[in-house]
Chain A
C-alpha cells in the first residue's frame, strides 16, 4: 500500500500509560521540568511533567520543523541525520532526541540540572521508548487492512460538513 493512502498510526491508552511511566521516571531521575513527544509530522503525542506555559500544539509543529530542517543540514554535510539537538538559553534549555525515526522527544530543563545528567539519563529512556514505538508502528502497519476508525461513519461525516 502506498504511504499516502489511509496511512495512519494510532496508540492506545495502554501505550499512553507506558509512555507516561517511562517519561515520569526519566524526569525525576534527571530533575528536568517537562518532556514532550512529537511525531515527525508535527503532531503532539504526549506531555509529561510540569504543564507547559506555552501553546504545546504550536511548539510541536515548530519542533518537527526544527528537526526536519536539521536533518537536511546533516545531509548537506554528509551525515545521515542528527539524532539529537541541543538549544541552550540563559535559563531554560531544551534537548531533542530522535526515537525510531518517527517521534521526537523534547526535554525542557533549567539550571536545577545539567546537560550532562539529562543526556546520561536520556540514553536509557530513548532505548525504552524506541522499543515501545517500534511496537506501536508495527501494530499500526499490521492493522492496515483492518476496518478504519471511522468505518461506516460516512453519514456522520457528511452531516459534519452540511
Chain B
C-alpha cells in the first residue's frame, strides 16, 4: 500500500523479495546497497541469525528519482527463505506494492522453488491480496551455474501463466525483454493467459539485479499513473 505524503512530496512504496532459502534475495539487496550513491539510499538492516540466515527480514530504502515533483522512495524487503520462519515471512507481505520472486535456477532446487511460489500465493491470499493483479516479477537467479535448469523448464514450473478474466486485457502483449515471447497470449484452447515478466540474473555478480528492480518499480509506479 503506497503512502503519498503531500507535506514532504514523497511517494513511498514497498517491494518484497520472496523465494526459497539461499536463492539470493539478500544478495540482491546487498548489491543494490553497494552500487547506489550513499545519498540515495538508507541503511541496510538485516535481522539475521548468527549463520547469516535471514531471521525476520532485510530492509533497504532507496530513492529512485523524482516524478511530478514527488520523490519516489522504495522500501526493499526480503523475507526469510526457510519454511520454518513462515510466520515472519507473512508479516513482511503486509501492505506490499510489488513482489519479486527470486528463484534458484539449480535443477535440484526446483521443488524448493515451487514450494516457495505456492507459499507466496497462499500468504498473499490470506491478506486478501491477488498476486495476479499486482506488480509481480520473477528473477531466475544463478544462471551461471552448470546445473542451472533451462529457462523453458523454470517458466513451465513457476510461471505457466494465469487465466485472464478481464476482457480489456485480452490482447497479445509481447515480452519486450525476450523477443518472440509473450506476456499475454491466447492458447490454442481459446483461453487467454498472462505471465509475470522474468529476468535472468547472477545476483552475486550483480547481473540482472538492477534490471529486476527497474521492472518491478516501474510497474509499481504505473499503478499510480
Is there an interface contact between B4 and A2, defined as CB atoms closer than 8 Å?
A: no
Q: Among A4, A15, A151, A156, which residue has the most Cβ atoms of chain B within 10 A?
A: A4
Instruction: Verify if B225 is at the interface (C-beta below 8 Å from A).
Output: yes
Chain A residues contacting B45 (CB-CB under 8 Å) are 58, 61-62
Chain B residues contacting A45 (CB-CB under 8 Å) are 3, 5
Q: Is the interface of B mostly helix, strand, loop or mixed?
A: mixed
Q: Among B70, B72, B75, which residue has the most Cβ atoms of chain A within 10 A?
A: B75
Query: Top 4 closest A-B pairs, CB basis?
Result: A41-B95, A10-B4, A16-B7, A4-B129
| Contacts between the two chains (Cβ within 8 Å), count | 133
Assembled-state Cα–Cα distance A148/B88 (Å): 32
Chain B residues contacting A6 (CB-CB under 8 Å) are 223-224
Is there an interface contact between A153 and B87, defined as CB atoms closer than 8 Å?
A: no
Contact partner of B87 among A16, A43, A72, A161, CB < 8 A?
A72
Is there an interface contact between B128 and A3, defined as CB atoms closer than 8 Å?
A: yes
Is there an interface contact between B91 and A72, defined as CB atoms closer than 8 Å?
A: yes
In B10-29, the 8 Å CB interface with A consists of: 11-12, 14
Is there an interface contact between B1 and A65, defined as CB atoms closer than 8 Å?
A: no
5 contacts between A and B (CB under 8 A): A4-B133, A5-B134, A7-B1, A58-B61, A61-B59
Spot the interface stretch: B142-150, B200-208, B214-222.
B214-222
Chain B residues contacting A5 (CB-CB under 8 Å) are 130, 133-134, 223
Chain B residues contacting A7 (CB-CB under 8 Å) are 1-2
Instruction: Verify if B67 is at the interface (C-beta below 8 Å from A).
Output: yes
Instruction: Verify if B101 is at the interface (C-beta below 8 Å from A).
Output: no
Is there an interface contact between A153 and B1, defined as CB atoms closer than 8 Å?
A: no
Question: For residue A6, which residue of chain B has the nearest CB?
Answer: B223
Is there an interface contact between B68 and A156, defined as CB atoms closer than 8 Å?
A: yes
Chain A residues contacting B224 (CB-CB under 8 Å) are 6, 8, 148-150
Question: For residue B99, which residue of chain A has the nearest CB?
Answer: A4
> Which B residues are closer than 8 A to A by beta carbons?
1-7, 11-12, 14, 42-43, 45, 47, 56-57, 59, 61, 64-65, 67-68, 70, 72, 75, 87-88, 91-92, 94-96, 124, 127-131, 133-134, 214, 217-218, 221-225
Distance of B144 from chain A, by nearest CB (Å): 25
Question: For residue A157, which residue of chain B has the nearest CB?
Answer: B221
Chain A residues contacting B14 (CB-CB under 8 Å) are 41-43
Chain A residues contacting B65 (CB-CB under 8 Å) are 160
Is there an interface contact between B225 and A154, defined as CB atoms closer than 8 Å?
A: yes
Is there an interface contact between B3 and A10, defined as CB atoms closer than 8 Å?
A: yes
Contact partner of B4 among A8, A57, A69, A152, CB < 8 A?
A8
